Chains A and B, each alone.
Chain A
Amino acid sequence: MDNYAVRKLKEKIFLSFAWLALLLTAIILVVILGQVVYNGASAINIGFFFERPAPPGEPGGGIGPGIQGTVVLMALASLMGIPLGIIAGIYMAEFSESKLASAIRYFNDVLTEFPSIVIGVFAYTSIVIFMRTFSAIAGAFALAIIMIPIVARTTEESVKLVPASIREAALALGIPRWKTTLRIVLSTARQGTITGIMLSLGRIAGETAPLIVTVGFSFFYFGGFDKPVAALPLYIYTFAISPFESWRSLAWGSALVLVIMVLVVNIVVRTITRQKYR
Chain B
Amino acid sequence: MAYKFEVEQVDAWFGAKQALKQISMKIKENSITAIIGPSGCGKTTLLRCFNRMHELVPDARVSGRLLFDGQNIYDDDVDPVKIRRRMGMVFQRANPFPMMSIFDNVAVGLKMNGVRNKAKLREAVERSLKRAYLWDEVNDALDKSGVSLSGGQQQRLCIARALAVEPEVILMDEPCSALDPTATAKIEQLIMGLKEQYTVVIVTHNMQQAARVSDYTAFLYLGELVEYAETVPLFENPRMELTEQYITGKFG
Residues of A within 8 A of B (CB): 97, 163, 165-166, 168-176, 179, 183-184, 187-188, 190, 275-278
B96 (CB) vs chain A CBs: closest residue: A169
CB–CB A276/B84 < 8 A: no
Among A163, A175, A179, A275, max chain B CB count under 10 A is at A175
Q: How far is the CA of A188 from the CA of B100 in the complex (A)?
A: 9
CB–CB A173/B99 < 8 A: no
Tell whether B250 is near chain A: CB-to-CB under 8 Å.
no
Tell whether B121 is near chain A: CB-to-CB under 8 Å.
no
Known: A173-B85, A174-B113, A174-B165. A168 touches B97 (CB 8 A): no
CB–CB A175/B99 < 8 A: no
CB–CB A166/B145 < 8 A: no
Known: A165-B91, A173-B85. A276 touches B109 (CB 8 A): no
Q: How far is the CA of A166 from the CA of B96 in the complex (A)?
A: 7
Tell whether B162 is near chain A: CB-to-CB under 8 Å.
yes
CB–CB A183/B112 < 8 A: yes
Q: How far is the CA of A169 from the CA of B108 in the complex (A)?
A: 11
Bitwise interface map of B from 98 to 125 toward A, beta carbon under 8 Å scored 1, else 0:
1111000000110011000000000000
CB–CB B99/A169 < 8 A: no
Q: How far is the CA of A277 from the CA of B91 in the complex (A)?
A: 23
A190 (CB) vs chain B CBs: closest residue: B99
Please name all residues of chain B whose beta carbon is closer than 8 Å to the beta carbon of A173 when the two chains form the complex: 84-85, 88-89, 108-109, 112, 161-162, 165
CB–CB B98/A166 < 8 A: yes
B148 (CB) vs chain A CBs: closest residue: A277
CB–CB A179/B112 < 8 A: yes
Q: How far is the CA of A276 from the CA of B145 in the complex (A)?
A: 8
A130 to chain B: closest CB distance in Å?
Answer: 44
A227 to chain B: closest CB distance in Å?
Answer: 42
Q: How far is the CA of A171 from the CA of B57 in the complex (A)?
A: 12
Q: How far is the CA of A170 from the CA of B56 in the complex (A)?
A: 13
Q: How far is the CA of A176 from the CA of B84 in the complex (A)?
A: 10
CB–CB A169/B53 < 8 A: no
Interchain Cβ contacts under 8 Å between A and B, 12 examples? A166-B98, A169-B97, A169-B158, A171-B53, A171-B56, A172-B84, A172-B89, A173-B88, A175-B81, A175-B112, A276-B99, A277-B147
Tell whether B231 is near chain A: CB-to-CB under 8 Å.
no
CB–CB B99/A277 < 8 A: yes
CB–CB A174/B85 < 8 A: yes
Known: A172-B84, A174-B165, A179-B112. A165 touches B95 (CB 8 A): yes
Which of A174, A183, A187, A190 meets B81, CB within 8 Å? A174
CB–CB B99/A168 < 8 A: no
B161 to chain A: closest CB distance in Å?
Answer: 7
B78 to chain A: closest CB distance in Å?
Answer: 13
With contacts A172-B51, A172-B53 known, what are 12 further pairs, Cβ within 8 A?
A: A165-B93, A166-B95, A168-B53, A168-B95, A171-B84, A172-B89, A173-B88, A173-B108, A174-B83, A174-B86, A188-B97, A188-B99
